Structure 1
Amino acid sequence: MLKNIWFGKLAALAAIVLVLVIGLGMIEAVVRDRQHYRHLTEQSVADSLAGAQTLIGPVIHSACVESWDVETGKGDERRMVEQRREFRLTAMPETLRLNTDAAMQERARGVHKVNAFSLQTRILAQWGPLTALQPQSSIQGSRMQCGAPILMLAVADARGIRTAQLEVNAQELALKPGTFHPTYARGLHASLPESVRGGAEGLQATLNLELVGTQQVSIVPLGGRTEVQMQSPWPHPSFSGRFLPTERTVRADGFEAQWRLSSLATTAAQDIAESKPVCTSTPGEDNLAYAGAANQPHGCVDSFSVAFIDPVNPYSLSDRATKYGVLFIALTFVAVGLFELMGNGPHAPPLRGSLPPEGAAFSSWGGPAMKTLRVHPVQYLLVGSALCSFFLLLVSLSEHLPFGAAYGIAAMACVLLLGYYATHMLGSVRRGLPFGAGIGVLYGMLYVLLQLEQTALAVGAVALFAVLATVMVLTRRVNWYGLTATRSPDRPTARTEAA
C-alpha cells in the first residue's frame, strides 16, 4: 500500500510539473508579445520622427556626358550616329573632421520608451586641387558636357534634418534638399561655381548640422584622414561597425569617443565613388541602401556606429529570468520534499534484534512508524503557481517601475506568500521560516545572475552544485527503500525475532 501511495504521489507531481511548465511557456509568450509591441513602438517612433542615421560626406560630385559620332551604313546609306557615355566625377576630401554632441530625447508610446537623439555636428572638410572633377575623354574627338559641381551630404533619413548651415571658403552658400546622387539620394546639397573645377587652391567647407534620429548613428570615413570626436550624456553607448574608437571614456554621466582613420585602412572613398551600398547593423527602410552584411560581407561601404542602447531592458531581463523558471520549480519542490522527508522521523532501520520502546509502533522494515507530516499534491501545485506568478508580476511591474524595484516588489510578495503558506503546509513556523528564507535566497541568486554577463554561467553552475551538495548531505542517512517498502504478512517483526 505504501509503495502505491509513493508512486501515485510521484505521478501526481510529474503531472503538476508539466502543468507548471506549460504555464511558464504561456508567460514566456506574454514576454515575447510585449517585446514585439516594444519593437512596433520603436518602428512607430522612427516612422514619425526619424530612424537610425548614417552620415556620408561632404562629397563633391559632377554628372558628365561624353558623346561622339560614329559612321554607320555603306554607300548612299552611310550616316553619322551619336553615341554617348554617362559617368560621374567624385572628389573626396583630403581631411574630414567631425565634432558631434549627442543629446538624448526620450520618446514614448504608452508604456514603451524609445531612445531618440539630437546631434549637433560641426563638419570641417578640406580638399586639395580638384583635379578629380576634370573629365577625361575616352574617345578621341569626343565632346564633354558636365553639370555644375555639387557639394552634398547624404543621410539615412532626411526627415531628421533640423537646421543646416554651409560655408565654402568662408562664404555662406544656400543649401537645398536632395543630393542629385542616384544611390545616396537623401540629404542636402549646394551648387558650387564652375571655377572650382580643377582649381589649384583647393576648397574648404564648414557645415553646421542639427540632425535627429533614433537608436543609432553611423559615419562613413571618406577623408584621406578622418577624425571624429563624439560626446554625449548617455552612459551606455555600444560601439560597432568596421572600426572601434581610438580613444573612449565611458562614465556614469556620459561618454567621449574619438576615431582617427586613414584612407590606407579603408576603401570607403572608392566604394562611395562606385555607389556601393551602405551596410549598418540595424536594417530597415530608413537606411540609405541596406545590404545585409551576412549576405554581402565584402560588398558594402565601411562605416562605424554608436548605438544608444538601454542595458536594463525589462523585457530581455524578464525573458532571461523566465528561462530559470523550471529550475526554480524543481529546487522548490525538492525543498518541500526535504521538509516532508526530514519531518517524518528517522528513516534508517534499527539493528536486527533491537527492541522498541513499550507501546511504540513499527514500520515494515522494523523502524519506528513515520510521523504524519505529508504535503498534498494540491499544495505542491499552489506553491508552483506562486512561483510562476512571480515572473508575470515581474514583467508587468517592470513596464511602470525601474527593473530593480519591480524585481524587489515581485520577489518580496512571493517570499511572504510562500513563507506564510509554508508555516501551515509544513506544520510549524520553525519549518516555514527557513523555507521562506530559502526562496528569498533563490530570488537573490537569480537577480545576481541577471546582472552578470560574462560570469553568469560560472556563478550559476557553482550555486547549483552547492544546492545539490546540500541535498545529498541532508539525505545521506535516508533509507530510500524503506520509503516504498510494503509489509509482508509472513515477515516477522523485530519484537517476534527478539522473542
Structure 2
Amino acid sequence: MFKHPLFTKLVALAAITVLLLIGLGMIEDVVRDRLRYRSLTAQSVADSLAGPQTLMGPMIHSACVESWDVETGKGDERRMVEQRREFLLTAMPEQLKLTSGAAMEERSRGLHKVNTFNLKAHITAQWGSLASLQPQSTMKNSRMHCGAPIVMMAVGDARGIRTAQLTLGEQALPLKPGTFHPTYSRGLHAALPESVRGKADGLTATLDLELVGTERISIVPLGGNTEVLMTSSWPHPSFAGRFLPSEREVKPDGFSAQWRLSSLATTAQADIAGGSRICVGGYDENAHEYPPGGTTPRDCADSFSVAFVDPVNPYTLSDRATKYGVLFIALTFVAVGLFELMKKLRVHHVQYLLVGSALCSFFLLLVSLSEHLPFGASYAAAATACVLLLGYYASHMLGSLARGIPLGAGVALLYGLLYVLLQLEQTALVVGAIALFLVLTAVMVLTRKVNWYGLTQGMAPQTPHTPKATGFPLPAVPGHTTNATNTTTHTPTKESP
C-alpha cells in the first residue's frame, strides 16, 4: 500500500500544500506589517494635524463659590472658620441646529495615506429662560460669588480649530481659547455680560466654525431638540454611536445625513451636566485612549459619529485576498488532477510545487503593487501576470496548448471571482458560497464516470512471479534435462532394485 504511486502522490501533494501554506503565512505577515505601519501613519498625522474630532455645545456655564462662617472651639479658643462650596451652574440650549459640510483632504507619510476632513459648521443655539444660572444658597447667611457667565464650545482636539466666529443676537463676541470647564477643557469660549444671568426672554447664539480632523467626527446632542444636517463629497460614510441618522442618502459623489433628536430620547444633557466622558466606539476623547475590552464604558455621554472610512484600503483588501489563498491552491490542484485523471497524464510533484508558488506570488505582487498604483490596476496587473505564466507553463506541463489554455482560463475566472468578492460587503459570503458550490458541482459532473476502485487495483496482493527466460544456460542437474528456452523439466528415473 505505502509503495503504491497514488499513495506516494497524495503524500507528496500534502507536503507541497504544507510548504505553500507556510509561504502564504509569511505573505500574510507582510500584509499585517503594512497594516501596522499604516496605523502608525494615521497616528502620526493625527499627532501633527488633529485627531478624531468631537463637537459638544454651545452651552453656558458659570463657576460659583458659596462661603459661610462656622464657629469652632470653646471658651477663649472660640473662633470663626470660613467654609466654602464650589459648584458649576450650566444652561443647556433648548434648540440646537447644526448644519455642516465636510471636505476630504488626503494626507500621506511615505507610501501610506490617511483621510482627513475640513468641516465647516454653522451652529445655532437657542436658550429659553436662563434661571438655571441663578445660584441658590444652601446655608443660612452664606456669601455667594459667581464668575461671569461663559458660553463655550468643546472640541475633541483644539489644534484643529481654523476659524471661529460667535454672534450673540446681533453682537459679535470675541472668542478665546479654552472653555474654563473642569471636564471639557479643549475648545473655545466667550464671556457674557452679567445681565444675561436669570434672563427670562431667552438668548440666541450663532457660531460659525471651521474644524479639521482625522477620519471621524462625533457630535453630542446637547439640545432639548437637536437637529444635525451633514453633507460631504465622501461616498463611504460609516455611521456609529448611540443614534443613527433619521434620514440619509449615500451616492457615488457623496452623502447627506440628518439627525433629529429629543432630550426625551437621550441623556446627553444630564451626562454633560454630571461631567461624563465623551466616548465614541470605545474611544475616550478626554483620555485619548481605548478602554480595555474595546467597549464603550457606561459612564460615557450619549453621542453619534460619522467615520470617513476607506473601503478600498489596499492593505485591508490584500489581507482579505490572502485568506482565499488556500482555496486558490486547492481548486488549481484539483483542476490539474482532473487533467491527469481524464487525459491519462502524469504531472510531477515539482510541477505542482511550481504551480502553487505562482499562485502564492500573486498575493505578494498585489500588496507590493497596490502601494504605488490604484488597487484595481494593481490587481489587474498581478492577476494578468500570474494567468499568463500559469497558462504558458500548463501548456508544456499538460502536453498541449489546448490543455494549457483552459487551465489558464480557469485561474483567470478565479481571480475575477475573488475581485468581485473583495468589492462586495454585504453579499460576499453568499456569492462565495454559491461559487464554491458550482465548482464542486462541476468537479462531480466531470468525474461521475471515473472508476475510483480502478485507480487502486494495484494495491491488491499480486500473484507469484514466474521466472522469465534469461538467455543463459543453466547448470546440468542429474535427473533433469534442459530445453532450449532454459526451462527445466523433471524426468522420472527408475528406482534401482
Please indicate, yes or no, whether the TM-score normalized by the shorter chain is above 0.5: yes
Cα distance in 2, alignment partners of residues 217 and 225 from structure 1? 20
Moved more, 69-78 or 313-322: 69-78
* Aligned mates of 2:258, 2:296 — CA distance in 1: 28
| TM-score, normalised with respect to structure 2 | 0.90
Query: Which residue does the alignment assign to 1:478?
Result: 450
SS at match of 2:419: helix
Q: 1:488 aligns with which of 449, 456, 462?
A: 462
Specify which of 424, 431, 439 is matched with residue 459 of structure 1. 431
Q: Secondary structure at the match of 1:278?
A: strand
Aligned residues: 464
- Provide the rounded CA distance (Å) in 2 between the counterparts of 1:293 and 1:303: 20
Relative to structure 1, the CA distance from residue 170 to residue 127 in structure 2 (aligned partners, 3 Å threshold; closer, same or farther) is same
State the 1:203 CA deviation.
1.5
Aligned residue number for residue 368 of structure 2: 396
Taking the aligned partners of 2:367 and 2:296, their CA distance within structure 1 comes to 38
CA contact (8 A) 2:2 2:8 kept: no
Corresponding residue of 1:354: none
- Structure 1's consecutive aligned runs of 4 or more residues displaced over 4 angstroms after TM superposition are 284-297
Report the CA distance shift for 1:10/1:388 in structure 2 as closer, same or farther (over 3 A).
same
**Aligned CA distance change for structure 1 residues 303 and 285 (closer, same or farther; 3 Å):** closer
Q: Is the 8 A contact 2:95 2:126 kept in 1?
A: yes
Shift of the alpha carbon at 1:286? 7.0
1:185 aligned to 2:185? yes
Query: Could you report, residue by residue, the CA deviation over 1:241-277 in whole angstroms, capped at 9, with x for unpaired residues?
Result: 1111111111111111111111111111111111110
* Equivalent position of 2:234 in the other structure: 234
Kindly indicate whether structure 1 or structure 2 has the higher relative contact order, using CA contacts under 8 Å at least 6 residues apart.
1
Deviation at 1:2, TM superposition (A): 9.7
Q: 1:45 Cα shift? A: 0.6
Q: How does 1:50-69 map to 2 (within 5 A)?
A: 50-69=50-69
Deviations 1:133-184 (A, max 9, x none): 1000111111111111111101000000011111112111111111011110
Matched-pair contact (CA < 8 Å) for 1:156–1:287: no
In 1, Cα distance between equivalents of 2:264 and 2:285: 32
Provide the C-alpha distance between the structure 2 equivalents of 1:291 and 1:275, rounded to a whole number of angstroms. Answer: 18
Change (3 A) 1:491 1:476: farther
> Partners of 2:124 and 2:365 in 1: how far apart?
52
Shift of 1:481: 3.1
1:441 to 406, 413, 416: 413
SS at match of 1:423: helix
Aligned partner of 2:488 in structure 1 is: none
**Kept in 1: contact 2:282–2:294 (CA 8 A):** no
Partner residue, 1:123: 123
Matches of 1:227 and 1:79 in 2, distance apart?
A: 57
8 Å CA contact retained: 2:282, 2:297: no
* Residue type of the alignment partner of 1:142: S
Q: What is the aligned partner in structure 2 of residue 350 from structure 1?
A: none
Q: Structure 2 matches for 1:43-54, cutoff 5 A?
A: 43-54=43-54
Name the counterpart of 2:487: none
Determine if contact 1:277/1:288 at 8 Å carries over to the other structure.
Answer: no
Deviation at 1:234, TM superposition (A): 1.1
- Residue 424 in structure 1 maps to residue 409 in structure 2: no
Map 1:78-227 to 2 at 5 A: 78-227=78-227
Which residue matches 2:333?
333
Q: 1:422-462 CA distances to partner (integer Å, 9 max, x unpaired)?
A: 00001111211111111111111111222222222222222
Task: Please say if 1:406 is aligned against 2:372.
Answer: no
Deviations 1:9-39 (A, max 9, x none): 2211111100000000001111101111111
CA distance in 2, matches of 1:261, 1:331: 53
Counterpart CA distance in 2 for 1:296 and 1:284 is 8
**Could you list the per-position Cα deviations for residues 288-328 of structure 1 after superposition, in whole angstroms to 9, with x for gaps in the alignment?**
79767965543111111111111111111111111111111
C-alpha displacement of 1:400: 1.9
Question: Would the alpha carbon gap of residues 209 and 284 (structure 1) be closer, same or farther in structure 2, given more than 3 Å must change?
Answer: same
Structure 1 distance, partners of 2:177, 2:421, is: 51
**Mapping for residues 256-271 of structure 1, pairs under 5 Å:** 256-271=256-271
Task: Flag structure 2 segments of 5+ consecutive residues without an equivalent.
Answer: 467-497
Which residue identity lines up with residue 375 of structure 1 in the other structure? Answer: V
Q: Distance in 2 between the 1:161 and 1:73 partners?
A: 55
Distance in structure 2 (CA, Å) of the matches to 1:453 and 1:166: 43
Asked if 1:450 is matched to 2:433, the reply is: no
Classify the secondary structure of the residue corresponding to 2:276. Answer: coil
Distance 1:144 1:31 in 2: 63
Aligned Cα RMSD in Å? 1.9
Query: 1:64 deviation in Å?
Result: 0.6
- Give secondary structure in 2 for the equivalent of 1:50: coil
| Partner-residue secondary structure (3-state), 2:405 | helix
What is the CA-CA distance between 1:470 and the residue it aligns to? 1.9
CA 1:381/1:155 → structure 2, altered by over 3 Å: closer, same or farther? same
Q: Judge which range, 456-465 or 168-177, deviates more.
A: 456-465
The superposition leaves residues 395-431 of structure 1 with CA deviations (integer Å, 9 ceiling, x where unpaired) of 1112222222211111111111000000000111121
Deviations 1:176-204 (A, max 9, x none): 11101111000011111111111223211
Matched, 1:37 2:37: yes
Cα gap change, 1:296/1:229 in structure 2, threshold over 3 Å: closer, same or farther?
A: closer
CA distance in 1 between counterparts of 2:304 and 2:169 reads: 29
Whichever residue aligns with residue 78 of structure 2, its letter is R
The answer on whether the counterparts of 2:279 and 2:301 sit within 8 Å (CA) in structure 1 is yes
Partner letter of residue 170 of structure 1? E
